[in-house]
Structure 1
Amino acid sequence: QEHTTVDLLPPCTCRDSQLDGVDTRLGADSNGERGVMAEAKKKKHVFSVKKSKKEWREQLTREEYRILRRGGTQAPGCGEYNRIYPKTGYFACKGCDNPLYSVNSKFPDSGWVAFDQCYWSKGECHVGTRRDGIGIELICNRCAGHLGHVFYGENHTAKNERH
C-alpha cells in the first residue's frame, strides 16, 4: 500500500494513509491480561526482518541505529513528533516500515511521543515486549527494533497504558 512520509524521526515514521485489515483494538485476553503484555505471553515470536549490524548501519543514521538497534532513548522534547498531530495515517517502524500506531492513538506526554493503543492484524500485535532490566521494553514485532517502554496505571488516557 502506498503512503507518504510525514517525518523521519526514530523509532517511528508517520505515514499518511489508512490500512486495510489492521485492527487498533486493545483488550483483555482470556486470562484477563491487557494490551501488549497479553500478546507477549502467548508464544515465542519469530522476527521476519533480519539484517546484519552492517546492513542496519547502512540503512539507519547513527542516531536511528543507537535508538532502534542499541535500545537508546531520545532526549525529551526533541523531534517534530512531539509537536504535530496528523489527522490521518499511522506511525510505522523506521527500521522495517511495520505499521505500529494509528495517529488517533497518539496523546500529549511529558517530552516523548506517546501512544495508548497499537495495531493488530491476523491475531498478532504489531508491537512486542520483553523485559530489559528497566521495565517492559516495546519492540517492533517485525524487526525487533527498540521502540521504548510501556507504562501502566498513569491515567493519561481511558486505556491507562502509555507506549
Structure 2
Amino acid sequence: DVPEPSNPPDGCRFHTRCPEVIPPEGIDLPQETWRNVLHFRKQVLGDSVDLTSIVEIGAIENDLQVDETTPADVDEEQLASWVRSEYNLPGRLSDPQAEETLSTALTELITNGHQTAGETLTEQFETVCERQEPELRSIAPDHRVACHLTDDDLPGETDPENEYRRQLSSVK
C-alpha cells in the first residue's frame, strides 16, 4: 500500500501514485504481493492491526465454538496464518529473505506488539523511494522524469513484471 497523496514520504513525491513500487535490493516478490507487504507494514506502523478482530473473524470462519476468543487463546502459528489471510499475504512468500522478515515481524506483533514488528518491517522493507529522492533526468527531448524506475543502476531492469519501467525507458 502506498501512502496518502496528502502526506507523501520523504524521497519520491510521486510515490503515492506509483504503479510499480520498487522493493529493496535482494527482495524478489511479485508486485501485488509486494504491495500487500507494504500495506501490512503501514498498518503495523499505524498500530492498526486489530488482533482481537482477526481472532474473532478466524473463529467464526473456522466454526470454533467458544464464547470468548482472544489472541492469547489462539496458537501463535494459527494467529499468524489468520493475519496473513487478513492482509492477503500468502502462507509463505516466494522470496526466502522476505519470508524470514515477515515471519519474524508476525511473531513480534503477536508476542510483543506493533512497535517491535514495525521496526523489523521498516528496517527490512524500506523502499528506495523512501530512502532517496530520484534525480531529474530526460528520457525524451520534451519529457523529464524524476523516478527510480528509470534508473538503470537499480535492480529489476529485466523483471518481466516491470512493464512500466520498460515503457518509460523505451521512450526516445
TM-score by length of 1: 0.21
Q: Highest CA radius of gyration, 1 or 2?
A: 2
Name whichever structure is richer in helix by fraction.
Answer: 2
TM-score by length of 2: 0.20
